[in-house]
Every structure is written in C-alpha cells, then in structure tokens.
C-alpha cells in the first residue's frame, strides 16, 4: 500500500534543460517533501548510460549527481521514494538506488492507491502498435544485452545512446500519433491480469484521466505529464490525492 503518494514521470532531466532541473529540485524540496511517498514512473533522466555516470565529468553527470543527492535528502527527511524504469533510464541500477535512497520497482506493479488496486507502469509496454519499438524494448531489457552494453566504455555508451535518440526522434515524426499512444486493448488486458481497476502511467506525454468500462466495472487510467520548463509552453505536474480524489496539478 502506498501512503499519501505523489506520482511523477518523464522529467527527462539533463544539462540541456536547466529550468526543468531547477523545477524538479524545487519539487523534491517542496511538494514531494509534503507527502509520505514519492513514486517516479520512469524517464526521470533524459538518458542513463550506466551508474558510473555518477563518477564522470560531463554536465549530464553533474545533473545525475545533483538529482541523486536531492532525492537522498528527501529520503533522509522520511519520504519513501520508489522508481519504475523508463525506456530512457532503463539502466538505472543498484548504485544509483543506493546513492539516491530510491527503491526500484518492477514494471508493471500493483499497489493500493487510496484503497484501490492500481497498476503502475512507465507505459511504453502498452504501445503495442509500434512493433519496431517493442522489438527494441525487448532487447534493451534483456539482461545479457544490458551486461554487454555496460561493459563498453562510458563515452562509447553515451555516443550509441545519442545515435539511438536521434533515430527515435526521426521515427516519431514519421509515425502516426495513435501508433505512439497506448493500445486500449493492451491496457484492458494488463489491468484484468493484475486485478486492478485503476492505472497510472507516463511515457506518452498525453496527460489526462480516462474512464472506461472493464468487465462491467468502471476503470480509470491516469496519464502523467512530461516536464519541460525550457520550451514554451512550459509543461509538467504531478498526481496526488487532494481532498480524497486523485488530481493532476
């Protein structure tokens, strides 16, 4: 059971977005500190080349250390922090977890939120119409692939991730919007399998609340916003129980 949680995802923190980083740090010290639990549903970082980023010297590595330290301060104040990997930071590992005081959760996972069994996920697993992406996702989550990748030098990993990001940006412009959104049938099946009537995920950058019938009951799916304070219009926000109801703000 999650006690008084606040949910965020898709902050995409990196040195290139200093205002977004500042907003995230203010959120950790402010809003998040007012909750018993912070739940991060993936893509906290724009990319994560491996936990040895915490020892390295590029501006993005400074961001990694700054964020880990801010989360550690929050954890030390008594806020329980849990994190589900996103597609961009799937390599966040035990050393980051230790440094930041974060508990790593599997994707998906069921937790009670406000007394309702709730499926928590990054969300990319349900974008099943994008078959090329799903193939890539399987590879990126294969432990043998990850081990081989992490055995490469850090600079090489960073370069490979840069290439993959550029390629995926091009792909996104080519694909129709509905292909990049979750598939309703995949969501319904996952909620049914999990015995959940509520779901919270990120990834699609299409924040909102979707109510729909599921096996004769009303089910609700919340989608978290992505964060970007460095382009107009600024985006971001979190989901928490306010006056007894889940609210995006």
| Residue 133 structure tokens | 């992406």
3-state secondary structure 162-194: HHHHHHHHHHHHHCCHHHHCCCHHHHHHHHHHH
Which part of the chain contacts Mn ion (CB under 5 A), choosing from 60-68, 70-78, 183-191, 203-211? 203-211
Residue 204 binds Mn ion, judged by CB under 5 A? no
Residues numbered 131 to 150 that lie near Mn ion (CB under 5 A) are none
Helices 143-150 and 131-140, packing angle to 10 deg? 70
Q: Using the rule CB under 5 A, which residue among 35, 201, 203, 205 binds Mn ion?
A: 203
Q: Transcribe 42-58 into DSSP letters.
A: S-SBS----GGGGG--S
Q: Using the rule CB under 5 A, which residue among 5, 49, 50, 86 binds Mn ion?
A: 86
Residue 43 binds Mn ion, judged by CB under 5 A? yes
Which part of the chain contacts Mn ion (CB under 5 A), choosing from 47-55, 164-172, 200-208, 235-243? 200-208
**What is the pairing mode between strands 245-248 and 239-242?**
antiparallel
End-to-end CA distance of the chain: 22
Residue 225 binds Mn ion, judged by CB under 5 A? no
Which part of the chain contacts Mn ion (CB under 5 A), choosing from 56-64, 87-95, 125-133, 224-232? 87-95
Which part of the chain contacts Mn ion (CB under 5 A), choosing from 64-72, 85-93, 113-121, 153-161? 85-93
Asked if residues 127 and 203 have their Cβ atoms less than 8 Å apart, the reply is yes
Supply the minimum distance, in Å, between the C-beta of residue 107 and Mn ion.
Answer: 11
> What DSSP state is assigned to residue 101?
T
Binding site for Mn ion (CB under 5 A): 43, 86-87, 203
């Amino acid at each position: 059971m999650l006690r008084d949680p606040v949910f965020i995802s898709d902050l995409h923190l990196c040195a290139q977005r200093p205002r977004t980083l500042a907003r995230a740090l203010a959120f950790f010290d402010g809003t998040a500190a007012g909750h018993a639990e912070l739940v991060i549903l993936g893509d906290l970082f724009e990319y994560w080349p491996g936990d040895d980023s915490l020892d390295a010297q590029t501006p993005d590595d400074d961001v990694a250390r700054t964020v880990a330290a801010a989360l550690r301060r929050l954890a030390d104040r008594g806020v329980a922090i849990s994190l589900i990997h996103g597609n961009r930071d799937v390599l966040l590992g035990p050393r980051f977890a230790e440094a930041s005081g974060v508990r790593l959760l599997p994707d998906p996972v069921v937790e009670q939120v406000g007394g309702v069994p709730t499926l928590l996920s990054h969300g990319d697993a349900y974008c099943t119409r994008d078959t090329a992406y799903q193939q890539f996702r399987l590879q990126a989550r294969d432990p043998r692939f990850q081990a081989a990748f992490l055995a490469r030098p850090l600079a090489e990993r960073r370069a490979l991730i840069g290439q993959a990001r550029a390629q995926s940006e091009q792909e996104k412009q080519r694909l129709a919007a509905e292909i990049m959104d979750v598939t309703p049938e995949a969501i319904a099946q996952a909620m049914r399998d999990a015995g959940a009537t509520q779901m919270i995920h990120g990834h699609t950058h299409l924040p909102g609340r979707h109510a729909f019938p599921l096996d004769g009951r009303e089910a609700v799916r919340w989608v978290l916003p992505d964060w970007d304070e460095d382009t107009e219009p600024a985006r971001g926000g979190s989901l928490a129980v306010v006056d007894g109801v889940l609210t995006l703000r």
